[in-house]
Amino acid sequence: MGAETASVAVIFWYGILHAFGPDHLTAIADFSIGRGGKKTFLSVGAFAIGHGLMLFVFAKILEHYTIPHALLAYGDMIASSVIISIGVYFLTMVYQNKIHLSSHIHDNKKHIHVWFGDEHKHEYTRTSAFGMGVLMGIGGVRGMLVTLGVLHGQAVGFTMILAFVLGVMGVFFTFGLVILWINKDIMTNIKNVRRVFTAVGIVSILAGGNILLA
């Protein structure tokens, strides 16, 4: 096995391990809970692509410029602050009774819609999965990808980033199946919807707070 092949394999495995971080799984739950199957997996894919793209951009910058380690640490603060903000938002929506549920039958299948805001406007305002991936990528810039690709003198190429994204996607799509099950089988009435968003909100605050305090 050549050095480049070994690096790609290591980064793919790192992508898998990286995806298991509680902050990443919490972020997936934040933007995919209450959505249909197609939107859930599109959101997961967008998150993984945004995450890998930002990591690639920063890795390229670090190949040519030295950025103080303390400055890179602010990325973790940005990512965790976003997660906390989403958690607070969810809890606020639950407290103000601004999370709503409706269902209808289409092609002999039951479709459930969850939205925030005015009950009669049927608005659905949610976080951008790609944007969240970019922000989380800023938080992960100090990870093994940068260490292996830059500090050891090996350029970070597209293949390496692709391997990382594929490793991340494998875990995220698996977790997406769990979210899909919750969306279909648990969130069938408004009480359960509010309970789920309350739980996700609390977990988001705890996960983000844990990063800030670490």
- Listing DSSP states for 145-161 in one string gives HHIIIIITS----HHHH
**Per-residue pLDDT, 160:** 74
**Per-residue pLDDT, 143:** 58
**Per-residue pLDDT, 151:** 44
CA 111 to chain centroid? 24
pLDDT tens digits in sequence order for the chain, 214 residues long: 555 677 778 778 877 887 887 777 888 888 788 777 778 888 888 888 888 788 777 777 766 776 666 666 677 777 788 889 889 998 998 999 888 887 666 666 666 677 777 765 555 555 678 888 887 777 666 555 555 554 455 566 677 778 878 888 888 889 888 888 888 888 888 899 899 999 999 999 998 888 777 6
Provide the mean pLDDT of the chain. 77
CB 31 within 8 A of CB 126: yes
Task: Give the model confidence (pLDDT) of 3-36 as tens digits.
Answer: 567 777 877 887 788 788 777 788 888 878 877 7
- What is the CA angle 46-125-187, rounded to 5? 85
